[in-house]
Chains A and B, each alone.
Chain A
Amino acid sequence: MYELKNVSKSYEQTRRRVTALDDVSLSIPDGQMVAIQGPTGGGKSTLLQMLGALERPTKGTVVLGNAELSALPDTKLASIRAREVGFVFQSFNLIPTLTAQENVETALAPLGVPGVERRARAAAALESVGLGDRASHRPDELSGGQQQRVAIARALVKEPDVLLADEPTGSLDEETRDEIMDLLEGIWRDRGLTLIVVTHDSAVAKRAERRLHIKQGKVTEKK
């Protein structure tokens, strides 16, 4: 469960201070699917990074489970990201020199999973997203949809409590978008994890059980 209290995040830019999040208080129960919408520059990605332990708030507290993320050192944050949080990015962010199988394995490296088990779990994760036969392909040998499936497998292979998706269908056509969203929704339902999706796409947002709108750093519930 996420608990955000009076969270603000400001950035120093040339000659001005930009407030990305402004006094946000928010609770997200375990197992909820949440869509975050809003205009570009409204603070969606900053909120997602805050939830993903990639950023610390300028003010306020972010609690995930029993851990107050805003007070933890970098090493602990890295450990939380490694164990509890899975990321899916708009641009897939696969490592171009590694195969699909090896890309998935990168998520298990910080957990110290032995090689044999690591390979087996990565293969199973790829199988679960329908890419068992593409394990040895490098990203540039896969389509956009397939790359995003590999990214989802990478996020799921460590069996996280939370899956954070930043515009996961932003680079895909409509058909592939629906396939990916079907996949994510299926995983959410099957595994009972918390799924938080940042999206511009209302069709994607409508799949969520809860929709948040963020504009100028302020979060509001959207009915």
Chain B
Amino acid sequence: MFGTYLVRELTNRRKQTAIIATGMALAIALVIIVNAVAAGVSAAQTSVLASVYGVGTDITVTQTPTAPTQGSNGTRAGGGPGFDFGAADGRTADGSTTLSQTHLGVVRGTETFDASSLDTIVGVENVAAATGTLALDNITFNGTIPTQRQSGGTTDTTPPPGGLDGAGGSSFNVDTFTVLGLDVAGAAVGPLTAVTLTDGRTFTAADAGSDVVVVDSAYATSASLAVGGTLSISGTDFEIIGLVASGSGAATASNTYIPLDVAQSLAGLDGKLSSIYVQAASSNNISQVQADIKNALPDATVDTQADLASSVSGSLSTASGLLSSLGTWLSVLVLAAAFLIAILFTISGVTRRTREFGTLKAIGWSNRRIVGQVAGESLVQGTIGGILGVAGGLIGILLINLFAPTLTASATVQRVAGFGGGPRAGGGGAPGETAAAATTTDITLHAPVTGTIILVAVALAILGGILAGAIGGWRASRLRPAEALRSVA
């Protein structure tokens, strides 16, 4: 009887069924689409951040920079590298002196900290992996100056005959490339996860302590380098074992990559790091890991992907903002409206069917049976709405994926302007100048569909049906049979 009555009601009161189911379907479709687009935008953001900060990195740890002191680490006051030449330095020939000096030091704007911090971080609960790096600049000064002449106690003011042009002229050349020292055994997280091997090989654990280098392919092209060749870093020849390509926006991108211990030794920074990349055991642990690291290393700057996401701008950021504000609220509002429509129509239906329920009570139907009947009808209406909503949502997602709108994403990364060319973003600035470099990426939005979203949507529809049915059934149960019949009379 329950099933027959239910089917008859739903099919003979099509208008009410259609309105409730349509309202619910719209809400469910919107929930599915908003969630799928949000997941797509989130994936796009993750993709942008992965290209900037490396795959799998949940947290980055750096040291807050302090004002440099003169002579520290070969720098001048103000933080720039210094080159000191003695009277006997250089090679003199034909009235000209050729000078050359290489400085390998920490990238300006970054601060080193003790490598024991890495052990501290590895010991933090829910840290799955962590690796440390040392970012360095290799700056080579080359110059030709005329040889100075002195006679007696007076200085000869006539121009020297030597120099570049034979008339006392000078020429200077400064060549810079970046060197990133990294743990050759730890590839699960960190800078190497943001690059792609294009030639040769990448590091193995056996490369620790070896003078081997992996070179960025763009830099290799500009500097005419190839696998099997050599590259001089701070006066030491390194064998080029591989070429890698990195996104131009990668914050961790470097011209060259060498074993961490070698980098520390060459730069005179034994036991020092400039960054640590941390992977949490689970995305749910990131906040806790961040807080624990901050507690363990109070002087460190600890950033999560969420902090880094704020550096992503462009239409991707706009879409993300829209989804997190308008999209979510729109979903909630439409869902609430659908629930309200379902409840009001059910109550209205109960009111309209007062005589019917009064009659059923008069012939012996219990309140429980009547509540069950009303709730069953609402549940089926909600479920129909849920199924239609899932279908509508899937069609909407299909259309989004077919049209695949392109979003632009700009990731702003703090960098140090170099002297020469190379892949370093922001290159071209004054030497040693810190610059905010924005790299723009076009990302095609794909809205993924997950079983969870569909299950949640159907559950919401069923919940709406149950809610409407419960309220409608409660109204029906409160009808006193005599009053219900009297109201008809």
Residues of A within 8 A of B360 (CB): 95, 106
A52 at the interface (CB under 8 A from B): yes
Are A97 and B12 in contact (CB-based, < 8 A)?
Answer: yes
Contact pattern, B 351-366, Cβ under 8 Å of A = 1, otherwise 0: 0000110111111111
Residues of B within 8 A of A210 (CB): none
**Distance, CA A90 to CA B363, complexed state (A):** 15
Q: Which of A30-38, A80-88, A179-187, A200-208 contacts B (4 or more CB under 8 A)?
A: A80-88
Beyond A90-B489, A108-B1, 8 additional contacts (C-beta under 8 Å) are A54-B361, A81-B363, A82-B364, A93-B359, A97-B11, A98-B4, A102-B8, A158-B364
Are A83 and B359 in contact (CB-based, < 8 A)?
Answer: no
Least Cβ distance of B73 to chain A in Å?
88
Residues of B within 8 A of A102 (CB): 1, 4-5, 8
Residues of A within 8 A of B482 (CB): 49, 54-55
Q: Using A98-B5, A102-B4 as known contacts, say yes or no to A110 and B365 having CB atoms under 8 A apart.
A: yes
Residues of B within 8 A of A78 (CB): 361, 364-367
**Distance, CA A97 to CA B14, complexed state (A):** 11
Are A45 and B363 in contact (CB-based, < 8 A)?
Answer: no
Are A95 and B359 in contact (CB-based, < 8 A)?
Answer: yes
B87 at the interface (CB under 8 A from A): no
Question: Which one of B356, B362, B365 contacts A87 once the chains associate, using CB atoms below 8 Å?
Answer: B362
Question: Which one of A75, A106, A115, A118 contacts B363 once the chains associate, using CB atoms below 8 Å?
Answer: A106
Least Cβ distance of A84 to chain B in Å?
9
Are B13 and A97 in contact (CB-based, < 8 A)?
Answer: yes
Contact pattern, A 114-146, Cβ under 8 Å of B = 1, otherwise 0: 010010000000000000000000000000000
Least Cβ distance of B46 to chain A in Å?
53
Are A107 and B5 in contact (CB-based, < 8 A)?
Answer: no
Residues of B within 8 A of A110 (CB): 363-366, 369
A192 at the interface (CB under 8 A from B): no
Residues of B within 8 A of A91 (CB): 355, 488
A29 at the interface (CB under 8 A from B): no
Among B355, B356, B362: residue with most chain A CB under 10 A = B362
A96 at the interface (CB under 8 A from B): yes
Residues of B within 8 A of A96 (CB): 12, 356
A89 at the interface (CB under 8 A from B): yes
Binding site for B on A (CB under 8 A): 45, 49, 52, 54-55, 74-75, 78-83, 85-87, 89-91, 93, 95-98, 102, 105-111, 115, 118, 154-155, 158
**Distance, CA A75 to CA B8, complexed state (A):** 27
Least Cβ distance of A55 to chain B in Å?
5
Select from chain B the residue with minimum beta-carbon distance to A74: B367
Residues of A within 8 A of B488 (CB): 91, 93
Q: Using A45-B486, A105-B1, A110-B369 as known contacts, say yes or no to A54 and B362 having CB atoms under 8 A apart.
A: yes
Are A75 and B366 in contact (CB-based, < 8 A)?
Answer: yes
**Distance, CA A111 to CA B1, complexed state (A):** 12
Residues of A within 8 A of B358 (CB): 93
Are A109 and B366 in contact (CB-based, < 8 A)?
Answer: no
Least Cβ distance of A186 to chain B in Å?
22
Residues of A within 8 A of B356 (CB): 93, 95-96
Among A75, A79, A95, A105: residue with most chain B CB under 10 A = A95
**Distance, CA A120 to CA B445, complexed state (A):** 62
**Interchain Cβ contacts under 8 Å between A and B, 10 examples:** A45-B486, A79-B366, A82-B364, A82-B365, A86-B363, A96-B356, A102-B8, A105-B1, A107-B364, A118-B1
B407 at the interface (CB under 8 A from A): no
Q: Using A109-B1, A118-B1 as known contacts, say yes or no to A97 and B364 having CB atoms under 8 A apart.
A: no
B485 at the interface (CB under 8 A from A): yes
B472 at the interface (CB under 8 A from A): no
Residues of A within 8 A of B12 (CB): 96-97
Q: Using A89-B359, A95-B359 as known contacts, say yes or no to A81 and B364 having CB atoms under 8 A apart.
A: yes
**Distance, CA A108 to CA B369, complexed state (A):** 13
Q: Which residues of chain B in 2-54 are interfacial with respect to chain A, using CB atoms and an 8 Å cutoff?
A: 2, 4-5, 8-9, 11-13
Residues of B within 8 A of A83 (CB): 364
Q: Which residues of chain B in 348-390 are interfacial with respect to chain A, using CB atoms and an 8 Å cutoff?
A: 355-356, 358-367, 369
Are A81 and B362 in contact (CB-based, < 8 A)?
Answer: yes
Residues of A within 8 A of B1 (CB): 102, 105-106, 108-109, 115, 118
Q: Using A45-B489, A89-B485 as known contacts, say yes or no to A52 and B5 having CB atoms under 8 A apart.
A: no
**Distance, CA A155 to CA B364, complexed state (A):** 11
Select from chain B the residue with minimum beta-carbon distance to A86: B363
Among A102, A106, A111: residue with most chain B CB under 10 A = A106
Residues of B within 8 A of A97 (CB): 5, 8-9, 11-13
Are A87 and B5 in contact (CB-based, < 8 A)?
Answer: no
Among B9, B356, B367: residue with most chain A CB under 10 A = B356
**Distance, CA A85 to CA B485, complexed state (A):** 16
Are B481 and A54 in contact (CB-based, < 8 A)?
Answer: yes
**Distance, CA A43 to CA B44, complexed state (A):** 76
Select from chain B the residue with minimum beta-carbon distance to A109: B1
Least Cβ distance of B473 to chain A in Å?
15
Least Cβ distance of A118 to chain B in Å?
7
